[in-house]
Amino acid sequence: MTRLALIAHDDEKPEMIDLAESYESLLATFDLVGTGTTGKRVAEETDLDVELKESGPIGGDAQIAAEVAEDRLDGIIFLRDPLTAQPHEPDISALLRICDVHDTPLATTRTSAEYVLDGLAADADRME
């Protein structure tokens, strides 16, 4: 099963919810994992099941990076706020590096997230 991680900076959480609602039927076929607050909000505001990691500021992004290193993730959507991210929010640089090393797609905007979702859906269809 396709496994996807969801992370969002505070100001981008509403956009993550909107994305999850828009792609809910596809995401329902995925194994979802999320940082604490993002994953909890997605689960509460949709009918999706999300495995919760720690919140980003206390290591959730590192837990997700470890899953990339263990080849347990097919992709990550990290909606980040490049202009007003707060010091307590997860930093993307380490996560980006591990994704590059392991050739794991990482989307940081709504548009790139939609491309990743469409690509993962196409991969899942080819595997059937």
pLDDT reading at 19 higher than 70: yes
| Mean per-residue pLDDT over the chain, rounded | 93
51 phi, psi to nearest 5 deg: -75, 125
Q: Where are the domains of the chain?
A: 3-127
Structure tokens at 28: 């329902």
Separation CA 38–CA 11 (nearest Å): 11
Q: What is the pLDDT of residues 25-39, one digit of tens each?
A: 999 999 999 999 999
Residue numbers annotated as active site: 61
Distances (CA, A) of 84 to 5, 35, 87, 89: 22, 19, 9, 10
Tell me the pLDDT tens digit for each residue of 53-90: 999 889 999 999 999 999 999 999 999 988 875 666 56
Nearest to 77, CA basis, from 25, 27, 124, 123: 27
Q: Are 17 and 39 in contact (CB under 8 A)?
A: no
pTM of full prediction above 0.85: yes
- Which of the listed CATH numbers 3.90.226.10, 3.40.50.10140, 3.40.50.1380, 1.10.357.10 matches domain 3-127? 3.40.50.1380
Rounded mean pLDDT, 17-32: 98
Task: List residues forming the annotated binding site.
Answer: 9, 13, 35-38, 55-56, 88
